[in-house]
Amino acid sequence: MSINEVQDEIISDFSLLDGDMEMTVFYIMELGQKLPDMPDNEKTEDNIVKGCQSKVWLTADLENDKLFFKADSNTAITKGLVSLLARIFNGQTPDAILNGDLYFMNKIGMERFIGTQRSNGFAAMIKQMKLYALAFKTKMEVKS
Amino acid sequence: MIMATSTTTIPAIDVEKIRQQFPILHQQVNNRDLVYFDNAATSQKPLVVINALIDYYKGYNANIHRGIHTLAEKATKAYEETRHTAKDFINARSVEEIIFVRGVTEGINLVAATYGRAFIKEGDEIIISQLEHHSNIVPWQIVCEEKKATLKTIRVNDQGELDLDNFKSLLSSKTKIVSVNHASNSLGTINPVKEIIRMAHEVGAVVLIDGAQAGAHIEIDVQDLDADFYCLSSHKMYGPTGTGILYGKKILLEKMPPYQGGGEMIKDVTFEKTTYNDLPYKFEAGTPNIADVVAFKYAMDFIKELGKENIGAHEHDLLVYATEKVKAIPEVRLVGTAKNKVGVLSFTVDGVHPFDIGQMLDARGIAVRTGHHCTQPLMACFNIEGTVRASFAVYNTKKEIDQLVDGLTRVINFMKK
């Protein structure tokens, strides 16, 4: 699936929640609970995303020229939010991630439930994922 | 804090009638009735305060003290009336002892930057406590760093009460300033400030009391306490944001250098020399926050009319009710269980981050505070990152506490799945 196809799927999932805040928050936390565990030895100071109020750890691996992210957070809601990003970007090429336009946030009305401080944190996660993509792209270019 | 027993059972506080005076409370947040439990951060404003602001801007906005026209006269009179009300509110000796500041933070910074800079020398000691808000830590750190003085802290026990034996052991002839809060913003502990002041005076230290969490809840008599400095924030007392009081004993204020230079605080200015204005104007440089100061009077009158004893009794009642209910949830750990508390309930929930609780409660229209509450060193003492804090005001009800407990139970049950 392409980045946009996954985003459309997320938009459709969220539309079922009918804008109910409590259901939305529960749903986001459920998504976080489904995120595969990140090994404790990867939850290092270096892997913490800077700019988030909660602790968010993020790592990326390249397999067959595609990126796969692992993430965790000490708060359930943030873990749910980062899981959305992992779902969108996992299995995509560095180029696709770098050029990806994340329009799903506006469509699901994310600003209503994450507030200003979390918005900044969310932007920091996206930036970190794109930085990983750039780093791997550069590495691939050097190799070839 | 408990109201004197009387033979009548009629409650001294008519909460429904009080709530009618707070328009903001009558709204829905996330499709549910708003429950506002973030009063230790800032309280809501009654109509008398809101109307005072409107009346000022509609009727007599003018710069004060220097104008001779009618509006300036009217504004000056209203501004100075608040000073008189504040003097009576805390029982200061004279209006010269009441300085208008932006709030407690500025009050403490003013004392640290003037009294601290002028009178602290190398080797001197300043004592604060582990219960302090960052605003009663950082200004003293700045002074200590500049003057090569030492900052010491009074320990808290497991209940969140100050250890006075420890305080006694810290006091010496080197102690020059003691600065503690009257009540803790994170835990609600009411500190024995009269005793602390007495002990500090025995070694010749001056004492500043941060009254941010006391102003709307505890009777304040600066003469009875014998406080040297006492600070209040209007916005935590049903008044506007951006103003507050620094009380200082006249004898101390007189020997302190000015804080900021500018208009209002001067008597005469030449390029060679400036002579400073008399108290309290020496510390009020520039055009002050006139509108908010004017409206602050109405907030103090609002508190006075209800009676602090009655407000305290109502909030104590809410605290006891909430403590019992929340304590009954097995996953909840109360943080701060002092015998004497204002209406602040701080707790953690096993396995759930405070941020998640805060967001879940907000989804049900309940406003609480989560995090370290600007008391990171205190959180470190309890070995936690932060807490969930529900703090009560005179307009809160037991029904709202039931909503909080209900919300909390739902989050915990969800997380256990």
A72 contacts on B by Cβ (under 8 Å): none
Tell me which chain A residue has its CA closest to the CA of residue B359.
Answer: A25
Q: Does A68 touch chain B (CB under 8 A)?
A: no
B177, B120 in Cβ contact below 8 A? Answer: yes
Q: Does B406 touch chain A (CB under 8 A)?
A: no
Q: Does A84 touch chain B (CB under 8 A)?
A: no
Indicate whether B173 belongs to any domain: yes
The reply to whether B163 and B227 lie within a common domain is yes
Q: What is the DSSP letter of B258?
A: P
CATH number for position B362:
3.90.1150.10
B356 contacts on A by Cβ (under 8 Å): 29, 75-77
Distance, in Å, from the CA atom of B39 to the CA atom of B314, rounded to the nearest integer, reads: 14
pLDDT over 50 (residue B1)? no
Distance, in Å, from the CA atom of B109 to the CA atom of B99, rounded to the nearest integer, reads: 13
The reply to whether B97 and B198 lie within a common domain is yes
Distance, in Å, from the CA atom of B403 to the CA atom of B408, rounded to the nearest integer, reads: 8
Looking at residue A103, its pLDDT comes to: 94
For residues A55-70, give the mean pLDDT.
95
- β pairing state of B35-36 and B366-367: parallel
Distance, in Å, from the CA atom of B119 to the CA atom of A18, rounded to the nearest integer, reads: 63
Looking at residue B9, its pLDDT comes to: 53
Would residue B144 show up in a list of annotated catalytic residues for this protein? Answer: no
pLDDT over 60 (residue B6)? no
The reply to whether B234 and B365 lie within a common domain is no
In this structure, which amino acid lies at residue B300?
M
Looking at residue B264, its pLDDT comes to: 81
For residue range B246-289, list pLDDT tens digits in order: 999 999 999 999 999 888 888 888 888 888 899 999 999 999 99
The reply to whether B256 and B185 lie within a common domain is yes
**Shortest distance, CA B353 to any CA of chain A (angstroms):** 5
A113 contacts on B by Cβ (under 8 Å): 359, 363
The reply to whether B186 and B96 lie within a common domain is yes
Residues of A carrying an active site annotation: 52
Distance, in Å, from the CA atom of B171 to the CA atom of A32, rounded to the nearest integer, reads: 52
**Shortest distance, CA B388 to any CA of chain A (angstroms):** 14
Q: Do A25 and B30 touch (CB under 8 A)?
A: no
Residue B371 in tokens: 């995090």
B352 contacts on A by Cβ (under 8 Å): 76
Which is more confidently placed, B47 or B266?
A: B47
Distance, in Å, from the CA atom of B162 to the CA atom of B156, rounded to the nearest integer, reads: 4
For residue range A70-88, list pLDDT tens digits in order: 999 999 999 999 999 999 9
Distance, in Å, from the CA atom of B115 to the CA atom of B118, rounded to the nearest integer, reads: 5
- pTM comes to 0.92
Q: Do B360 and A113 touch (CB under 8 A)?
A: no
B364 contacts on A by Cβ (under 8 Å): 22
Of the candidates A21, A22, A74, the beta carbon closest to that of B353 is on: A74
Looking at residue B36, its pLDDT comes to: 98
Residues 6+ apart with CB under 8 A from A11: A104, A107, A108
Q: Does A5 touch chain B (CB under 8 A)?
A: no
Q: What is the DSSP letter of B4?
A: P
Domain A3-143 maps to which CATH number in 3.30.450.40, 3.30.470.10, 3.90.1010.10, 3.40.50.720?
3.90.1010.10
Looking at residue B204, its pLDDT comes to: 98
Smallest Cα–Cα separation from B136: which of B61, B237, B208? B208
Q: Do B353 and A26 touch (CB under 8 A)?
A: no
Strand partners, B332: B349
Please report the beta strands in B254-368, taking only residues with DSSP state E, as ranges in sequence order: 266-269, 274-276, 332-334, 344-349, 366-367
The reply to whether B281 and B399 lie within a common domain is no
Q: Do A77 and B355 touch (CB under 8 A)?
A: yes
Distance, in Å, from the CA atom of B281 to the CA atom of B285, rounded to the nearest integer, reads: 7
Q: pLDDT band at residue A109, thresholds of 50, 70 and 90? A: confident
For residue range B296-355, list pLDDT tens digits in order: 999 999 999 999 999 999 999 999 999 999 999 999 999 999 999 999 999 999 999 999
Distance, in Å, from the CA atom of B272 to the CA atom of B269, rounded to the nearest integer, reads: 8
Distance, in Å, from the CA atom of B94 to the CA atom of B83, rounded to the nearest integer, reads: 9
Q: Does B142 touch chain A (CB under 8 A)?
A: no
For residue range B152-180, list pLDDT tens digits in order: 999 999 999 999 999 999 999 999 999 99
Looking at residue B211, its pLDDT comes to: 98
Residues 6+ apart with CB under 8 A from A120: A51
- The residue range of the domain holding B145 is 50-304
Residue B390 in tokens: 């529900």
Q: A94: burial class by Cβ within 10 Å (0-12, 13-18, 19+)? A: buried
Sketch the domain layout of chain A as residue ranges.
Answer: 3-143
Looking at residue A111, its pLDDT comes to: 79
Q: Do B30 and A78 touch (CB under 8 A)?
A: no
Q: What is the pLDDT of chain A when averaged over all its residues?
A: 91
In this structure, which amino acid lies at residue A74?
N
Q: Does B415 touch chain A (CB under 8 A)?
A: yes
Indicate whether B2 belongs to any domain: no
Q: What is the pLDDT of chain B when averaged over all its residues?
A: 95
B47, B53 in Cβ contact below 8 A? Answer: no
For testing the chain A interface, which of B29, B348, B359 should be mutated: the one with the most A CBs within 10 Å?
A: B359
A22 contacts on B by Cβ (under 8 Å): 30, 360, 363-364
Smallest Cα–Cα separation from A130: which of A80, A95, A87, A78? A95
Looking at residue A141, its pLDDT comes to: 87
Of the candidates B31, B352, B359, the beta carbon closest to that of A25 is on: B359
Indicate whether B5 belongs to any domain: no
Please report the beta strands in B217-357, taking only residues with DSSP state E, as ranges in sequence order: 229-233, 244-248, 266-269, 274-276, 332-334, 344-349
For residue range B405-414, list pLDDT tens digits in order: 999 999 999 8
pLDDT over 80 (residue A94)? yes
Distance, in Å, from the CA atom of A121 to the CA atom of A110, rounded to the nearest integer, reads: 13
B362 contacts on A by Cβ (under 8 Å): 21
Number of helices (H), then strands (E), in chain A:
6, 2
The reply to whether B192 and B113 lie within a common domain is yes
Cα-Cα-Cα-Cα dihedral sign, residues A62, A63, A66, A72: negative
Q: How many CB atoms lie within 10 A of CB A4?
A: 15
Residue B14 in tokens: 């008519």
For residues B225-236, give the mean pLDDT.
98
The reply to whether B277 and B131 lie within a common domain is yes
**Shortest distance, CA A8 to any CA of chain B (angstroms):** 25
Percent of chain B with pLDDT over 90: 89
When mean pLDDT is compared across A53-57, B185-189, B202-206, B287-291, the lowest value belongs to A53-57
Smallest Cα–Cα separation from B342: which of B194, B207, B160, B180? B160
Q: pLDDT band at residue B11, thresholds of 50, 70 and 90? A: low
Of the candidates B355, B360, B415, the beta carbon closest to that of A54 is on: B355
Smallest Cα–Cα separation from B238: which of B216, B220, B262? B216
Q: Do B353 and A29 touch (CB under 8 A)?
A: no
When mean pLDDT is compared across A106-115, B98-107, B366-375, B385-394, the lowest value belongs to A106-115
The reply to whether B23 and B114 lie within a common domain is no
The reply to whether B314 and B238 lie within a common domain is no
- β pairing state of B266-269 and B274-276: antiparallel
Q: Does A75 touch chain B (CB under 8 A)?
A: yes
Q: How many domains does chain B have?
A: 2
Which is more confidently placed, A114 or B103?
A: B103
Tell me which chain A residue has its CA closest to the CA of residue B407.
Answer: A22
Looking at residue B10, its pLDDT comes to: 57
The reply to whether B57 and B140 lie within a common domain is yes
Q: What is the DSSP letter of B112?
A: I
Looking at residue B5, its pLDDT comes to: 44
Q: Do B363 and A25 touch (CB under 8 A)?
A: yes
The reply to whether B219 and B324 lie within a common domain is no
Reading across the β-sheet that carries B369-371, which strands appear in turn? B332-334, B344-349, B387-391, B369-371
Q: Of B280, B304, B328, which residue constitutes the final position of a domain?
A: B304
Residues 6+ apart with CB under 8 A from A76: A29, A32, A33, B352, B353, B356, B415
Q: Of B304, B322, B354, which residue constitutes the final position of a domain?
A: B304
- β pairing state of B244-248 and A66-73: unpaired
Partner A, chain B 244-263, Cβ-Cβ below 8 Å: none
Q: Report CA Rg, chain B.
A: 22
